[in-house]
Chains A and B, each alone.
Chain A
Amino acid sequence: MGRGGATTFQQDLSQSDLIVIMGSNMAECHPVGFQWVVEAQQRGGRLIHIDPRFSRTSALADEYVPLRAGSDIAFLGGLIRYIIENHRWFHDYVVNYTNAATILRDDFADTEDLDGVFSGWDPAKRSYDATTWQYAGMDVAPSAGQRDTEAAVGETHGSGGAQLEHGNPPQQDPTLQHPRCVFQVLRRHYARYTPEMVEEVCGVPREQFVRVAQMLCDNSGPDRTSALCYAVGWTQHTVGVQIIRAASIVQLLLGNIGRPGGGILALRGHASIQGSTDIPTLYDLLPGYLPMPHAGHYENLAGYIKHNSAPAGFWAYMGAYAVSLLKAYFGDRATRENEFCFDYLPRISGDHSIYRGIFDMLDDKVEGFLVIGENPAVGNANSRAHRLAMAHLKWLVVRDLQDIETASFWRDSPEVESGELRTEEIPTEVFLMPAAAHTEKSGTFTNTQRLLQWRDQAVEPPGDARSDLWFAFHLGQIIRAKLADSTEQRDRPILDLAWDYPTRGPLADPDAEAVLAEISGYDSARRHISGYVDLKDDGSTTCGCWIYCGCFADGVNQTRRRKPGRQQDWVAAEWGWAWPANRRMLYNRASADPSGRPWSERKRYVWWDAEAGRWTGYDVPDFKPTMSPDYTPTEGSTGPDALSGTEPFIMQSDGRGWLFAPAGVRDGPLPTHYEPHESPCTNPLYGIQANPTRQLFPRPENRYHASDGEPGAEDYPYVFTTYRLTEHHTAGGMSRWVWPLVELQPEMFCEVSPALASERGLVHGDWATLLTARTCIEARVMVTDRMVPLRVEGRLVHQIGLPFHWGSRGLAVGDSANDLASIVLDPNVHIQEVKAATCDIRPGRRPRGPRSTSSPAAQVRTTEERA
């Protein structure tokens, strides 16, 4: 949709007439935010939960829909077809605010024409040339960020928005009848996603599917709105980006984006995951979703800016954002003459994501590894491969609250127990650096709804524990001191950094407010900047992250505001600060009709005040504040002025919500149902079984299973899906050492249906061993009706639920579910598929102790013999 964040905010769920939670277990993983779901229900709103497992979220739902893991696009595609074929789409919204009317090129071919791939498919490279996906008559748009084929495109510009070469509108047919207009292409693409097909693929009875579709349509339109909530149940698939694209199409067709009670709420994994993509810990992004420069792609700063900015919309000013960032990094050293030190930025040359990195470690290509606030030995897919990989490092630094498994793999991992790794033979020097907890440091979290919330330090950290800020700052100081006398050019980037933060307190902790103020930005007179429209590309402004610009406006820490919700309306604009520009809802101009009036009295949010000549409403308008609804751009208009007064999607260069993505997505312009990489079922829709562009790493440490129809598939007949429990936090570093939490969920368990238990002889409360080609783990058996076997393609598909919190350390120990998973990734964002894979399950505990062989296959045999 154009920005890397939820379009709405959790409090706004209270305004929803219907909330659909899919790919998320919100009540368990976001219990605090779930209060607004409950509030919506108490106001008469309804809740539908669609999930492979009946969870605590399902318990509160008005309708629970069990779904086969990994069949989400078939379900959402079914909704798209239902909406179109039953004429339930919001006509005026779709025609005016989406690219439904835009005409596509005549050489575009759909998956319906090519049995599962789009035009441009290169089977040898396993990738697409996206040229034919473009709008008719437009020049080929460079994909945002000029990424190389290995690098992610998904997060660039927050979406990978393609850039039309000029701001002129593309060819359109507002009657939506043209056979090559997006609407007709969309209709044909989903023509076979019938309720019967949904039943066959997803295991959802057609009557129930139609009931859900009707509820969604009945609760959408001028007078009513529905919201969609998702989390990692959608992202952790080889088709994760496309599932979310499918949800955007549903919400755009129903007119639910940018309107109160509507939207798509991306529920993030933990406290500041949103923040860690805004000011990224990702290898391919710079702060504010600016692309990391690629080796060989840009000769200079001007080339980088030219290729990555857009002629229309707010990306037109990308140069101002990039130069202000360079000024924040390099201060007075960054001058117009030296291109603001653009050459100092590192360059990427391919996929440098963590999973690629793990295999490079195994191949001895990586010497050192810094792990901060993560526990990959428990939390990452195929965590066993991570432990084996870390034994190839020269050094490893782990910063955490506890001595977690990532820091202790060399002495107590399952591989040490089995003899596969021998402590005395591991060369890795491990440094465990104790970290300060959130109560022991000041700073912000950026939450799931782009909201920055400041917290003050309550106590000093104990012993040697220090904040991450302290660690980064003083590490930099030490390195700079060591290099101080260097005359090498390669050391200049580090020596020329503006690295001068004031410190405070007995531990010389850098002042976090000084860092936040730098992120917010200064003008040449060191005055705080109030918003990103004031940023310049001439070096007169500094800003550490353009989307956060203004969070320290007027010298006030805006993120520290805490006016209670009961003292303001539900938008709560004076609590914390949301990017961009304290907007709580993105694209909120769409809450008004093309003429600027609210679509209905009941759903008014932002509207045009003709008398005042301004947009106004409950929220900060996400639109140029004085642009009248009847404004039309003239030849030569640029930036936001190149979009008309009726185009709300201001980050897209055509100003419209994209039903069809002409660029920016690596695996196709329209979401298409592919089976998970490991699946017990055949794709009944196409000859192509799984996402053809998925990222594969076939290696001995990462063996894959055969899928349906292939020899060997019967060895792993069951589907497993991983999940979290309310009582624990992700890989457990913050919860498995806390007695009151350990008491509540003390052991690893697996959830199976009574039917599967009887099929495999599993005893409730006893142990089971779960097997994949990667390894085997054991878990206590929970036989429960909440796991519902599904009838798919004429047979029963069993699904097994696995919480993934446990490891070899802490007050409660247990095997790690992620050991079972393989590393197979979404091609856009390199996210692992752990929400749908195959396994076997047998009664009894796994083999333990030293073994003569280390191969998982031998473990499998041993276990099978015991079973």
Chain B
Amino acid sequence: MTATRATSSAVDLVDDHAAVPRVGFFTDTSICIGCKACEVACKEWNHVPHRQPAWSGKSYDNTGKLGADTWRHVAFIEQRRASGPDQVELAEVPHGAGTSEGDARLVTPEVAAWLETPDRSSSPPVVDPADLRWLMSSDVCKHCTRAACLEVCPTGALFRTEFGTVVVQADVCNGCGYCVPACPFGVIDQRKDDGRAWKCTLCYDRLKGDMTPACAQACPTQSIQFGELAELRGRAHHRLEQLQGAGVAGAQLYGADENDGVGGMAAFFLLLDRPEVYGLPPDPVVTTRDLPSMWRAAAGAAAALVGAVALAAIGGKK
């Protein structure tokens, strides 16, 4: 395996010649049933604290996104296929429209249009069930080949393990929070009460005990597969071919390409639609990519400034 490296000075990259092969997750969203067993198993094994429960109304997703207290997150996307691959946004109907109550409410565009017909004598629009699609996908830290969180960490709390994964050491983290904006996926997050940064460890403790990470162990349909990365990528390509052969348009791999902006992800995905539909950045780039050139530019600017000052001083003597 040869990772393409954006810079030669990057620290803590995956060691291609390590004794322990790099491991990761292949999440095949085409067979995810949205049971959230991964979320529960993760919380139970890692003692991740609960958040204040709140019903979101966003399909069956009540945990929202990955964060300090959500290391696995299952996204639910309700779609109408005929309306295009993207999620149909519910439109807010203004007060006064529709029925006599005059409440604002969210309806689909078709219903909004129907509400605007003068007498609404026709039946309201009904979706064709064949158009319905409900995508589910379990998201997790990508354990990037080029992990910006790790590169910006000033204390060394974030480190690359012998399995090639990226882990925060809670007893070293000083809560500076540099890693939070560094992550191109919005994965790593600070806990409000203690200020430290938390995220998926790919169950580092279980790996050391030769056990499968909790989420993959709990997944009933093998939507989350754990294993050696090279082998998982082969499996993913095979599955992609199978789906494409079956005419599943939109099936694509995400994070399986080691030439992408983060050098490939140890946790990668088979999606049934574009990444943005799932809330994933379409073209993630390691945020530290431009640091060397920025430093070079800054150094140049500083040198120019020094030069200018010197010139001014010389000139002033005149």
Contact = CB atoms under 8 A, between A and B. Distances in A.
B55 A38 contact: no
Interface string A739-750: 111111111010
Contact of A64 (B63, B98, B125, B129): B129
A785 B35 contact: no
A747 B55 contact: yes
Interface string B56-99: 01011011000000000000001010000000101001000011
Contact of A744 (B36, B57, B124): B36
Q: In this complex, which of B34, B44, B110 has the most chain A Cβ atoms within 10 angstroms of its Cβ?
A: B34
B104 A763 contact: yes
B55 A54 contact: no
A764 B105 contact: yes
Nearest to B100: A761
Contact of B33 (A28, A747, A753, A796): A28
Contacts of A781: 57
Contacts of B124: 754-755, 758-759, 789, 796
A27 B57 contact: no
A742 B51 CA distance: 10
Nearest to A746: B53
A765 interface: yes
A35 B221 contact: yes
A783 B220 contact: no
A743 B51 contact: yes
B220 A31 contact: yes
Contact of A27 (B33, B55, B59, B90): B33
B62 A757 contact: no
Contacts of A753: 126-127
B123 interface: yes
Contacts of A783: 90, 105-107
A32 B33 CA distance: 10
A744 B93 CA distance: 29
A867 B99 CA distance: 12
B5 interface: no
A726 B243 CA distance: 27
Interface in A50-82: 54, 56-60, 64-66
B205 interface: no
A740 B39 contact: yes
Contacts of A28: 33, 35
Interface string B102-145: 01111110110011000000011111011011111000000000
Interface residues of B, number: 55
A782 B90 CA distance: 12
B274 interface: no
B289 interface: no
Nearest to B136: A59
B50 interface: yes
B107 A758 contact: yes
Given A59-B133, A747-B55, A811-B53, A726 B107 contact: no
Contact of B221 (A38, A727, A789): A38
A803 B286 CA distance: 43
B33 A56 contact: yes
Contacts of B99: 758-761
A781 to B, nearest CB: 8
B103 to A, nearest CB: 5
A812 interface: yes
Interface in A411-454: none
A784 B111 contact: no
A780 interface: yes
Given A746-B55, A758-B99, A761-B105, A56 B220 contact: no
B126 A744 contact: no
B53 A31 contact: no
A761 B63 contact: no
A46 to B, nearest CB: 11
B40 interface: yes
Interface string A161-204: 00000000000000000000000000000000000000000000
Contacts of B98: 758, 761
A24 to B, nearest CB: 13
Please indicate which of the listed interface residues B100, B123, B220 has the most CB atoms of chain A within 10 Å of its own CB.
B220
A753 B78 CA distance: 13
Contacts of B33: 27-28, 31, 34, 38, 56-57, 59-60, 726
A739 B107 CA distance: 32
Nearest to A727: B36
B34 A59 contact: yes
B58 to A, nearest CB: 9
A27 B35 CA distance: 8
Interface residues of A, number: 59
Interface in A770-800: 780-786, 788-789, 791, 796
A212 to B, nearest CB: 13
Given A782-B57, A796-B126, A763 B62 contact: no
A64 B221 CA distance: 20
Contacts of B114: 758
A755 B111 contact: yes
B41 to A, nearest CB: 9
Contacts of A54: 129, 132, 134
A56 B134 contact: yes
B34 A743 contact: no
A390 B220 CA distance: 40
B129 A754 contact: no
B55 A749 contact: yes
A739 B106 contact: no
B31 interface: yes
A265 B108 CA distance: 38
Interface in A314-333: none
Given A64-B129, A746-B54, A763-B105, A758 B115 contact: yes
A750 to B, nearest CB: 12
B213 to A, nearest CB: 16
A199 B127 CA distance: 17
Contacts of A32: 220
A139 to B, nearest CB: 51
Contacts of B37: 31
Contacts of A521: none
A762 interface: yes
Contacts of A65: 129
A865 B114 CA distance: 27
Contacts of A38: 31, 33, 221-222
A758 B97 CA distance: 10
A54 B129 CA distance: 8
A867 B88 CA distance: 29
Contacts of B110: 754
A117 B31 CA distance: 46
A764 B88 CA distance: 15
Contacts of A27: 33-35
B172 to A, nearest CB: 27
A784 B221 contact: no
Given A744-B39, A796-B124, A788 B50 contact: no
Nearest to A32: B220
B49 to A, nearest CB: 8
B312 to A, nearest CB: 63
A58 B107 contact: no
Given A764-B90, A788-B126, A796-B124, A35 B51 contact: no
Contacts of A59: 33-34, 133-136
17 contacts: A27-B34, A34-B220, A35-B222, A38-B33, A54-B134, A56-B34, A727-B36, A745-B60, A758-B99, A765-B57, A783-B90, A783-B105, A785-B78, A788-B129, A788-B132, A789-B126, A796-B123
Interface of A: 27-28, 31-32, 34-35, 38, 41-42, 54, 56-60, 64-66, 725-727, 739-747, 749, 753-755, 757-766, 780-786, 788-789, 791, 796, 811-812, 843, 867
The 5 closest A-B pairs by CB, nearest first: A746-B53, A755-B124, A739-B50, A59-B134, A747-B55
Given A56-B34, A740-B44, 7 more contacts: A31-B220, A54-B134, A757-B105, A762-B105, A783-B105, A788-B126, A843-B101
